[in-house]
Structure 1
Amino acid sequence: MVNRSSVGLGMDGPSIRPRPTRVTAAERPKAALASPLIVWAILVAGLYFGREIFIPIAIALLLSFVLGPLVNYLRRWRLPRLVAVGLTVLMTLGIVGALGTLIGIQVADLVGDVPRYRATIERKLDSLRDSPAGRMTDYVANIGRAIHNAGNADTQPKPAAAPPPPAAKGEPPSERKPMLVEMTATPPSPLETASTLLSPIMQPLATLGIVFVVLLFVLMQREDLRDRLVRLAGSRDLHRTTVAMDDAAKRLSRYFVAQLALNTAFGVVIGAGLYLIGVPNPVLCGIVSALMRFVPYLGAFLSALLPMLLAAAIEPGWNMTIATAILFLILEPITGQVIEPMLYGQSTGLSPTAVLVSALFWTWLWGPVGLLLSTPLTACLVVLGRHADHLEFLDVLFGDRPALTPVQNFYQRILAGDSEEVLGHAELILQHCSLSSYYEDVVLKALELAARDAARGVLTPAQKSAMRGTLSELIDDLADRADGPVGGAHRDKDPADVCEAEGACSPLPVHPIPGDLPEGWTREGAVLCISGRGFLDAAAVAILAQILAKRGIGARTVPFSETASARLSRLDPGAAQIACVVSIAHGGEPQHLNRLIARLRQRMPAVPVLAGLWLTGQEERRPTFTLDADITARSLHEAVEAVLAAAEADATVAPRPRTEAPAPAALAPEVVGQGA
């Protein structure tokens, strides 16, 4: 006996589908989940235990993005690659050595002035203790100290006095005199002295040497490394992979060069400002400020600490400290909120959460150096995720682009039945594209997703009802919105560029309203918009009627229930010029539409029928199914174009004098003369 649940119908008759084995159904998901976790655990462990090697390599790779344009510039002067790379590395090594020497001189000068700074700080602390706030602080501290001492006195027993040591028998007690011992240190040998002096700087020098050796080889073997990355990323489509890698390298180079130049300029301006204010060691403060700007979020605060402390230590008053704080409060917002977006767009292309999480992760992994490298390293991972299919999850996790597309976002919100969120989503997208393009590229595509889920049987009746109600409210709320071209801040830009940048929708052509529409097409009911039997067809019909009304054409919606055989005789065609049957179908051929078209022709034989069948997931089957209609349209755009073409053809064949009839009620006055 064969189980019915395991029988399927094939081309040659019934066929028995194999039952899923226990390995396929249970063990494979666990293995698929455990395998990436094991790989990532091994990678993290390797980065942690091998940080002495990986930190110099990471610094060298980031420097290669910065120095790559300089090498290319020198190559344009007909210099050999070895000479160009050598000059670039030597120049970089000279700059790093000069900065290190300058920092050492400034730190030595700062250490020599510490006693003078200490006296000033002690006087300021004494003055603070004499103030009301200082006295209140001392009072609270004394209360806490008294409570702590009282608790210790109650809980700890008093130690007993130790008895004196017993004297020897027959000898009187006598006091033992202390013995003086002099310790003389052996003078260190020259080798020990050199080791003591050089040991603190041996590790930084070794790291610096590894960085420049790796940098030299990376710049020399740049094309070879690119080819190997292309092979790893995917060699099946070499053109696409090569273009992606080159684009990623150029983007990262521009970003790192711009960031380095901006942070350097910030440090120079801060150093000059501190010099004018009178803060000591302004060069050191400028270098620290430039380096701290690589640290996300906390960098600006940390860079202001050192100059403010120095200002407070050198001056008895507080004027210099306040002036230093004002300098940072003015320059940091201007740099971060005005200059950075002008130079390289939206900063790093990372989400704020990703910047914070990456800073914590790399700091835990590599310490303070990881904090400085966290944002550049994560930016590299995001760029790789945008161009490599296998690493796309990195862009999803850390990128600043929305996790869901506008279509998916809209479907998720109508699925929840939240009409306010749906309207807010529409208002946001309609700032960048017209109403008709929003309906075409967002709403109707989201309805296709809903039709797929309905065909799979995963939507409950309550969810379908919530979708219908939410869509009806949205269409009613957008009834008064003009369907014109993109305006506002993007008026002078290409709509395609705006929509691509904003991640919204692609614009549809804007067609003007025909100037000589026949009077019959402007009356209410000139176009009968009849819905199919699907639960989303009524919303599609309402959208079509609204877009037609904004072009001056009178449209009337007719539900599917009014076209049944028993009730079709009650349908009054009135002044109908064309009947539009619209359906959003998925899975199977909608034979009911042909039956509906046949009934309409019996009822209105003189009215042409337009069938708007917007199939989902059936692209390969469209040629096999034909509709018995005068005109067919596969999208909202085609349906509107067909109706406008029919109206213009009617005006050409039978011209009528234009009347001064008022515009339809659904058409706003400012919409006249505009199109979709």
Structure 2
Amino acid sequence: MKHMSPGEGLMVPPRPTRVPAAETPRGPLASSLIVFAIIVAGLYLGREVLIPIAIAVLLSFVLGPLVNFLRRLRLGRLVAVMVSVLFAAGIIAALSTVIGVQVAELAQDVPRYQRTIERKIEGLRTGTLGQTMDYIANINRAIHQSGNEEKENAERAKREQAARDSARKTEPEPPKPILVQVEERRPSPLELATAVLSPVAQPLATTGIVLVVLLFILMQREDLRDRLIRLAGSSDLHRTTVAMDDAAGRLSRYFLGQLALNSAFGIVIGVGLWIIGVPSPVLWGIFALLMRFIPYIGAFLSAVLPIALAAAVDPGWSMVVATFLLFALVEPIVGQIIEPLVYGHSTGLSPFSVLVSALFWTWLWGPVGLLLSTPLTVCLVVLGRHVDRLEFLDVLFSNRPALTPVENFYQRMLADDPDEAQEHADLILRECSLSAYYDDVVLKGLELAARDAARGVLTPSQKDEIRASITALVEDLEDREDGLPEPSAKSAPAVPEGSEGESACKNEPIPDPDPDDLPEAWRRDGAVVLVSGRGFLDGAATAIADQLLRKRGFGTRQVPFAEVARARIGDWNPGPAQAVCVISLALAGEPTHLRRLVSRLRQKLDTAPIVAGLWRFDDPVLSDDALRAKLGADDHVTSLRDLIETILAMARLGGPEERKRQDTATPPRQALPEPA
């Protein structure tokens, strides 16, 4: 069964509805380890009882849709449950009978298969391969003997002399053996019955426990759900019920899809082996069905015994090659093509967690634990997605990225790793436009950095490293076009297999302006003046806005905050500015600073419109019209898309002088009378 490889995606899955948990203080690490050890010990010591219960729970997810279907046919709950359980028991009994019969038939032909294997080995030994190995062995022997001939001759002479001396000695005649005849006591009927039934007693007991528990779960499903709701959190019944139903639906769909797919795989393998001529194809089809529940290696292990049997049956090698090709072709088709279409790798597990869970459950419960490892871990992950107290299970085992793309971006900036930041950007840009990447990832990452700087957790050296990394990233993306990548460019998926969610970039690409919509005055250098705020990352945000505007034909000019400070504003020359944009992350205390900066710019540019670009979305200045009006800017934008569209709209209206004439020529609108 195929599982996704790690680190392949940058999708942000929507946060599922979580069951509210009570506020409890976090215990020390030692207490957590003690609780974990107690749970593991309980799972190990109680495996004789817990294994049947686990199998029954998993079967309840498989039979649940069948019970619902029968109930929709107006059958009573008891009848629907009994029919479903008897149907499942009949299938299991039939498969067990077929396996027993097929194994018995194979056991009768083992001597013949052994002779065929021996003849093949002898043929290899006397054939070209054997001659080649003998030739290599002779060369090796000659190399070792070339320098030790005299020593070997002396040792040989000593051995011959010792053999002659031992031959002269007379050995005493061995004593004659005494014949002893042992007669066994005939077993009593009770002992005979015990010997026959003891091998099947435990499987029968396990089957009985599974059936009883399965009947109870299917009959009391709603009552069990209500009790779980009570335990998980009854303060919000709606959210908890939705979470429970969602978890049960996901598990049922996954188990049914996996069972159907593995059954189809077993049928194809069985039919293929029957066509090839391998004995007991039904047995190997069932074996392939069961082994494919084992992650990663199950499908390959299911091919070992049929290939070995083909080598034992066919005197030649054609059947072995055909059997190998059958598995080599069917498994990739099922795992790589059909499986994503059936249930989209909906295990939701990371490859590492699948491996660890397989080792853990095998150590606890043996071969049965290996078969149940993936379904049990899926149950834990689903619980972790919906119950706050168990969220660590989702973080540890699921294939969802532990960090969002924004957090990943900021983490790479903190680590001062420009190469990883570039790889991160290339991966996202396989499905996103450049402007959407800047808007939805980079600017939000800069906001996280600005928050940390405001809290005083960033050192001066870290600030310098973050600025340098951002500058290097923007320079590396200078030659990239701002548009959705071509389908051929999506060579590797940017979506993690098995995860659900929306793209990391939610915005559509910003359309390029028509050449006729951009007057010549707006193409000159310095037509759009981008002024940085005093924040340590405002310069980086300004460089990003400058890059996107230049890609659309605007003439731009970046102005650092130092050039328009109070002491130097008198010497600053705005040039042929058609519009001014002040870029700031709008941190706490910034509105006063921005108001003063806009006021100084207004004195130098009395006709050019001023746009305030503010990217901290939860700042009060963006939600309060009164505070926003106090800034004194003509317009306010909260994204690069809004900024570019606003500047483009201004360009279509012409320069400041033309807009002033239009405003003068346009008569004031008459106020409409208020309705009575």
The alignment's TM-score, normalised by the length of structure 2, stands at 0.82
CA RMSD, Structure 1 to Structure 2 (Å): 3.4
Amino acid at match of 1:628: G
Matched with 1:67 is 63
C-alpha distance in 1 between matches for 2:390 and 2:137: 58
**What does residue 233 of structure 1 align with?**
232
Q: Is the 1:518–1:655 Cα contact (8 Å) retained in structure 2? A: no
The alpha carbon displacement at 1:138 in A equals: 9.0
Deviations, residues 334-360 of structure 1 (Å, cap 9, x unaligned):
111111111111352211111111111
Instruction: Call closer, same or farther: CA 1:233–1:488 in 2, change over 3 Å.
Output: farther
The equivalent residue for 2:506 is 506
For 2:113 and 2:598, locate their aligned partners in 1 and report how far apart those are by CA, in whole Å: 94
**SS class of match (1:612):** strand
Q: Which residue of 2 aligns with 1:166?
A: none
Matches within 5 A, 1:68-87: 68-87=64-83
Are 2:277 and 1:278 equivalent residues in the alignment? yes
Partner of residue 549, structure 1: 550
| Cα distance, 1:83 vs structure 2 | 0.8
Contact 2:611 2:636 survives alignment (8 Å): yes
Unaligned runs of 5+ in 2: 1-24, 145-154, 156-173, 661-676
Encode CA deviations 1:115-143: one digit per residue, 9 max, x unaligned. 222222222233344323665899999x9
Aligned to 1:121: 117
Q: Secondary structure at the match of 2:517?
A: coil
1:600 aligns with 601
SS of 1:426's partner is helix
Shift in alpha-carbon separation, 1:178–1:340, aligned structure 2, 3 A: closer
* Equivalent-residue separation in structure 1 for 2:648 and 2:243 (angstroms): 43
Alpha-carbon distance in structure 2 between the residues aligned to 1:121 and 1:485: 60
Letter in 2 for 1:114: V
For the 8 Å contact 1:500–1:506, the answer to whether it is kept is: no
Which stretch shows the higher mean deviation, 338-347 or 588-597? 588-597
- Residue 50 (structure 1) aligned with residue 46 (structure 2): yes
1:639 aligns with 2:643: yes
User: Which residue of 1 is the match for residue 313 of structure 2?
Assistant: 314
- Where do residues 456-467 of structure 1 align in structure 2 (5 Å cutoff)? 456-467=455-466
Q: Could you say what secondary structure the match of 1:267 adopts?
A: helix
8 Å CA contact retained: 1:496, 1:506:
no
Query: How far did 1:218 drift?
Result: 1.1
Deviation sequence 1:148-176 (CA, Å, 0-9, x none): xx9xxxxxxxxxxxxxxxxxxxxxxxx99
Q: Go from structure 1 to structure 2 and tell me whether the alpha carbon gap of 1:177 and 1:324 turns closer, same or farther (over 3 Å shift).
A: closer
Q: What do the CA deviations read for 1:653-676 (whole angstroms, capped 9, x no partner)?
A: 9599xxxxxxxxxxxxxxxxxxxx
Q: Which has the higher contact order (CA 8 A, sep 6+)?
A: 2
Task: Tell me which residue corresponds to 1:362.
Answer: 361
CA contact 2:585–2:615 (8 Å) conserved in 1: yes
Most deviating of 476-485 and 252-261 = 476-485
Cα distance in 2 for partners of 1:64, 1:620 equals: 55
- Aligned-partner Cα distance in 1 for 2:619–2:635: 20
Distance in 2, matches of 1:134 and 1:637, equals 72
Say if 1:138 and 1:211 are closer, same or farther in 2 by CA, change over 3 A.
farther
Task: Tell me, yes or no, if the aligned pair for 1:128 and 1:134 is still in contact at 8 Å.
Answer: no
| 8 Å contact from structure 2 (residues 432, 485) kept in 1 | yes
Deviation of 1:567 after TM superposition, in Å, equals: 2.6
SS in 2 for 1:586: coil
Distance 1:473 1:309 in 2: 58
Aligned match of 2:90: 94
Tell me whether 356-365 or 234-243 shows the greater mean CA deviation: 234-243
State the Cα deviation string for residues 300-331 of structure 1 (Å, max 9, x = none).
22101111121111222222112111111111
| Aligned counterparts of 1:265 and 1:610: Cα–Cα separation in 2 | 63
- 1:187: which partner in 2? 186
1:645-656 maps to which residues of 2 (within 5 A)?
645-650=649-654, 654=658
Determine the structure 1 residue equivalent to 2:453. 454
Percentage identity across paired residues of the two chains? 61
The answer to whether the aligner puts 1:629 opposite 2:623 as a matched pair is no
Which residue number corresponds to residue 264 of structure 1?
A: 263
Output the CA distance in 2 between the equivalents of 1:646 and 1:500.
41
Structure 1 unaligned runs (5+)?
1-27, 144-149, 151-174, 657-676
Shift of residue 442 of structure 1?
A: 0.5
User: Helix, strand or coil: the match of 1:566?
Assistant: coil
Distance 1:652 1:103, change over 3 A: farther
**Matching residue's letter, 1:329:** A
CA distance in 2, matches of 1:481, 1:444: 18
Aligned 8 A contact 2:510 2:641 in 1: no
Check the 8 A contact 1:292/1:299 in 2, yes or no: yes
Aligned residue type for 2:528? V
SS at match of 1:530: strand
CA 1:103/1:125 → structure 2, altered by over 3 Å: closer, same or farther?
Answer: same
Distance 1:176 1:266 in 2: 65
Counting only pairs closer than 5 Å after superposition, residues 460-609 of structure 1 correspond to structure 2 as 460-485=459-484, 487-488=486-487, 501=501, 503-508=503-508, 510-511=510-511, 513=513, 515-609=516-610
SS of residue in 1 equivalent to 2:207: helix
For 1:647, the aligned partner's letter is A
Amino acid at match of 2:637: A
Alignment correspondent of 1:345: 344
Partners of 1:231 and 1:620 lie apart in 2 by 43
2:608 and 2:656 in contact (8 A); partners too: no
Q: Does the 8 Å CA contact 1:586/1:617 hold for their aligned counterparts?
A: no
CA contact (8 A) 2:580 2:608 kept: yes
Worse overlay, 597-606 or 445-454: 597-606
- TM-superposed CA distance for 1:78, in Å, is 0.9
2 CA distance for matches of 1:196 and 1:109?
Answer: 23
The whole-number CA distance in structure 2 between the counterparts of 1:560 and 1:203 is 80
CA distance in 2 between partners of 1:269 and 1:109 (Å): 22
Asked whether 1:612 is paired with 2:613, we answer yes
One-letter amino acid of the structure 2 residue matched with residue 540 of structure 1: A
Q: 1:500 to 1:338 in 2, by over 3 A?
A: closer
- Distance, in Å, in 1 between the alignment partners of 2:545 and 2:652 is 18
Letter in 2 for 1:115: P
Separation of aligned partners in 1, 2:132 and 2:245: 62
Aligned to 2:663: none
Secondary structure in 1 matching 2:73? coil
Q: Would the alpha carbon gap of residues 215 and 134 (structure 1) be closer, same or farther in structure 2, given more than 3 Å must change?
A: farther
